[in-house]
Amino acid sequence: MLFMKPNFGAFGLMWDDQAVRYAFLTPRFLGGRFFYSYGKYLIKNFKGEDAASMEPEFAMRELKQALAYSRPKKLPTKKVVFGLPSHLSSVYLLRIPIKDSVSLKTKIYKKINAELPLNLASYYWDYEILARGKKSLLILVGLTPQKIVDYFLQILDDAGLVPVSLEIDSFSILRSIWQKNFSGKNFLLANIGSWHTNLVIFSLGVFQFYTAVSWGEKNLLQTMMQKLSISEKKAEHLKNTFGIIRPYDSQGIDPLYFSALENFSQHLLNTVNFFEATHEETRKITEIILTGKGAQILGLEKFLQERIPQIKIKTADPFVNLEVPAPYIPPLIKHAPQEFASVLGLAMKGFNL
């Protein structure tokens, strides 16, 4: 389920936090690709933190409304590659012996039941073989609660869409930003959403560790509202215009936001320290790569670099594998590339990349 290869075009859709984002890519006659349809729709009158907590009928109406906003053309297909929110899923790395005739799926099932605090009967799960050794296999296992998957499948069906593939969004993001030199690096990918940040560590091109923290760009927005006694609308404008930079001072981080930002930087550092302490056989983390809506906050990369100087902080480039000429990238996506990283990766999956 989580790693199936679709057999159609390239329509990727992600519904996380409080927005629906999607893109339909098609091949260009002269090579490469272009955006046939795309869209972003903010869910109104919803104060929850997860799309999966919406009433199904309300969610279906909102999804239909979101798809009606597609530009510049109407979506030409109902078949979609859908992204499952990482913070509602689990990912594990297992080493499975291959010395007997027991089926691989049975071995994985038994190992998960024996080593992890999960009731597999309540999860959908799938796996991918990352490496083959003489005596064992390195297996990546993805699990999402059945109630979460069933909820999204029902909403998609009610909205007239046909999901041909589901994928945990951290891996779709990786597909969009992956570069050849990543294979030789140890890095942490921080996908900063509205209320959650998904942290994934890769060592020499192989998944090693995953966790999620309850911190997102909405936490910064709340800090702005409280510290400055302003409305959410004004705080959103201030965040989008200045980020965490002091107005009229392009070099300084506004100390008003230090408390919220220190909390986030400590989450990152704790994750790196925990991984390095429990994975002594791997080399140290050398980069933290930011993506997601929160990665677009002006000044965030600078602040984190000052707080974690021993690790290089950089913002991901979701266009590196897109194969769409720069002049043909729509302004909506060009000006907010990080929040479309997952959608672009899902659409690329439609090309069997």
Mean model confidence pLDDT for the chain: 87
Tens-place pLDDT, residues 11-56: 999 987 678 999 998 887 656 788 889 999 988 776 665 677 888 8
Burial of 201 (0-12, 13-18, 19+ CB in 10 A): buried
Number of Cβ within a 10 Å radius of residue 18: 20
What CATH architecture applies to the domain 179-316?
Answer: 2-Layer Sandwich (3.30)
Q: Say if residues 35 and 330 touch (Cβ distance below 8 Å).
A: yes
Q: Using 50, 70 and 90 to split pLDDT, how confident is the model at 156?
A: very high
Tens-place pLDDT, residues 291-349: 999 999 999 999 999 999 999 999 999 999 888 888 889 999 998 899 999 999 999 98
Tens-place pLDDT, residues 81-99: 999 988 889 888 888 988 7
Domain residue ranges in the chain: 1-85+146-178+320-353, 90-143, 179-316
Q: How far apart are CA 244 and CA 252, in angstroms?
A: 9
Rg (CA), the chain: 20
> What CATH code is assigned to 1-85+146-178+320-353?
3.30.420.40
pLDDT of amino acid 49: 59
90-143 against 179-316: fold identical:
no
Task: Give the DSSP letter string of 187-210.
Answer: EEEEEE-SS-EEEEEEETTEEEEE
Q: How far apart are CA 302 and CA 308, in angstroms?
A: 10
Q: Which amino acid is at 80?
A: V
The SS3 assignment for 256 reads helix
Share of the chain above pLDDT 90, in %: 43
Nearest to 174 by CA among 197, 185, 190: 190
> What CATH code is assigned to 90-143?
3.30.1490
Q: Say if residues 63 and 155 touch (Cβ distance below 8 Å).
A: yes
Alpha-helical regions (H) of the chain: 56-68, 104-115, 146-158, 169-177, 217-228, 232-242, 258-278, 300-307, 331-334, 341-349
pLDDT of amino acid 41: 93
Q: How far apart are CA 174 and CA 306, in angstroms?
A: 25
Tens-place pLDDT, residues 199-211: 999 887 778 888 9
